[in-house]
């Protein structure tokens, strides 16, 4: 069973310029993601798929396999289903772990746990594993509330259990990914992450906050390991 992780990164990040290679907690989002995945016992190879020569060079220097992306599949207008199909077709593996660099707080231990879970799933019941997190917020769409009544507003902890996909990890058999052209199967197994591990970077503010969280985690670990 060959399991490979794909880290898709492109040069044209729009909200946070060069976010994947911008200095981040003494490293970069891309390098951190490669290192976390390389520490996974189940992953045989980390593939960085990108249109950026700079990111591909960084990947090679870190021991990952650089895969040059066709410019069409790096544009901001290409349908994502085409991108997923392309990523799968250009990666020779039995199982693919889709691992965006913009989720820097999910750990290698969690990736190993997710892969173990996926390999243990009955394929007749589940065809993908995807990470999610709880959403306990008062949601409104159009002219009406989505998950609460305005006549009797509940405590936030009493809101319905709504789950949001965070894309920190998605796991599928390669052939299913090619056929589905999506990282979510028709029968996904949903693995709930903590809000910390689920954190995704999409704005400058989120970039700064994620960096703070990672630095704090490292400090807490060093404090725990240091002799008293």
pLDDT score, position 12 = 76
Superfamily of chain region 3-136+158-225: Spore Coat Polysaccharide Biosynthesis Protein SpsA; Chain A (3.90.550.10)
Alpha carbon 130 to chain centroid distance?
A: 9
Summarised one tens digit per residue, pLDDT across range 68-82 is 999 999 998 999 999
Q: How far apart are CA 226 and CA 228, in angstroms?
A: 6
pTM confidence score? 0.94
Worst-scoring range by mean pLDDT, 2-16, 90-104, 170-184, 198-212?
2-16
Q: What is the pLDDT of residue 228?
A: 58
Contacts of 223 (CB under 8 A, 6+ apart): none
Chain mean pLDDT for the chain: 96
Render pLDDT for 168-203 as a digit per residue (tens, 0 to 9). Answer: 999 999 999 999 999 999 999 999 999 999 999 999
Boundaries of every domain in the chain: 3-136+158-225
3-state secondary structure of 65: strand
């Amino acid at each position: 069973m060959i399991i490979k992780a794909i880290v898709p990164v492109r040069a044209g990040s729009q909200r946070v310029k060069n976010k994947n290679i911008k200095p981040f907690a003494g490293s970069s989002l891309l390098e951190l993601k490669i290192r976390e995945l390389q520490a996974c016992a189940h992953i045989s190879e980390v593939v960085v798929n990108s249109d950026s020569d700079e990111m591909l060079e960084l990947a090679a220097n870190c021991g990952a396999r650089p895969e040059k992306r066709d410019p069409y599949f790096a544009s901001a207008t290409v349908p994502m289903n085409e991108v997923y199909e392309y990523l799968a077709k250009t990666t020779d593996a039995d199982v693919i772990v889709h691992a965006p660099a913009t989720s820097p707080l999910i750990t290698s231990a969690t990736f190993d746990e997710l892969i173990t879970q996926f390999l243990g799933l009955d394929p007749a019941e589940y065809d993908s594993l995807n990470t999610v997190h709880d959403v306990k917020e008062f949601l409104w769409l159009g002219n009406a509330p989505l998950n609460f009544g305005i006549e009797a507003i509940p405590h936030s902890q009493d809101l319905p259990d709504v789950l949001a996909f965070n894309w920190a990890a998605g796991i599928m058999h390669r052939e299913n990914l090619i056929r589905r052209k999506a990282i979510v199967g028709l029968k996904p197994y949903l693995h709930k992450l903590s809000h910390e591990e689920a954190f995704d970077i999409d704005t400058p503010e989120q970039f700064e906050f994620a960096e703070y969280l990672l630095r704090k985690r490292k400090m807490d670990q060093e404090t725990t390991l240091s002799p008293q």
